Structure 1
Amino acid sequence: MFVIVKYTSFDVRSNCLCFITTGHSLSCYECKSQTGSCAGQTVKTCPGGSSQCLSSTAVPQNGTKEKIKHCAPVCQNGSLNTGSSKLTISCCNTDQCNTNDAPDYANVPNGKTCYSCDGQSCSNILNCSGTEDRCITATATVGGQSAVLKGCASKSMCDAASSVPNFASISCCEGNLCNGAQSVSQSFLFLCCSLLSYFLLH
């Protein structure tokens, strides 16, 4: 039994049945919503270099869920929680596999705790949830000031964060409250937006 994919030709001289296949372009659902719903999502043929479909749910401090779906060259399943915002990303690699929204683990604590910052102090204790099994600390210089971001993260997010540009350092550790309570952050919202944008756009 032969399965013909795209085009079949018969070469009389060699009595060869030849199968020629053409490259396949991945297609993903695309959506950007600040209302918490991707009801109007559309299908997009991904550009070359995109090998995965991404679906994300971001919950900023105001509580309004933001949904984003698109093609991605690189994608990491996992979540990042800074206390002021939370991002969950789900990745897959077949056509239109991102039809469902990324899961929201915000209400499912996993027993782990990490320190987080609020702009005045980095001694707030944050309850981690879902797959967040690491505590994260990110530092950068913003406007001449040193800024610190702390929170909970999945191991996959920590691994991917090692290459985020414009950060002096990003480190992750295991164990409750292992990311320390010291350091005051004056620009942690800027850092948070930068870190979340990196995961969504790269």
Structure 2
Amino acid sequence: MTGPRLGRDDETHRMKTYALDKARADGWLEQLGDGSQGFTQLCEVVGERFVAFSVIAGIRITALTVDPRNPDQSVVEFEIGELPGSQRLSLSDFRERLAQAMLSEDENETGAPKGADAESLQSYIGFRYVLLAPLYDIGLECLKVDGDLATIEVAIGGQKTDLPLDDFRDLVRDRVREDVQQQRAPSPFSIDLNLVPRARAAAKAEDSDGVV
């Protein structure tokens, strides 16, 4: 005798597990800027994660005019995808626009991923989230799909945990919001970057008045 055969519904709703070792994008930003002094300087002024946001959003920074007295008012010139012409924004406004792009909602796939290859899994999770996760030291371990219920196992601070896919996306967006809030926080004082060399010289000469 043979056992009962699974119906189509049972086969469809059987949990499927997908390893994400080939789908995750650990170190992608470092690889992008490897060996580029200009890229390093851009990250120092704009902020490493905000540079990453621009890459994810398809925004290409073409010029940066730094205001040493008020860095947030530095002017960023950029191009968006295939759109003609360039745009200019203050650094603070540019960061806000990038954050809006990272926080926008997108349509989610339902059911199982279309395939087990890296691109299909990235598309199912969301390309944006695959690229954002390593910026916040969130490791993608495996994806579990049971019917329309999808959970993702992530590693955070050395601890592994399962999250519904929507909760994972919310977690990543919360980290982006934290970055934006930190950039919005007013500095208790500002420093004229042009005075730094003078202060260093005064410090070497033990001129306390000059340092102040």
TM above 0.5, one fold?
Answer: no
Higher helix share: 2
Q: Under a length normalisation based on structure 1, what TM-score does the superposition of the two structures give?
A: 0.26
Higher strand share: 1
Higher RCO (C-alpha under 8 Å, 6+ residues apart):
2
Q: Under a length normalisation based on structure 2, what TM-score does the superposition of the two structures give?
A: 0.25
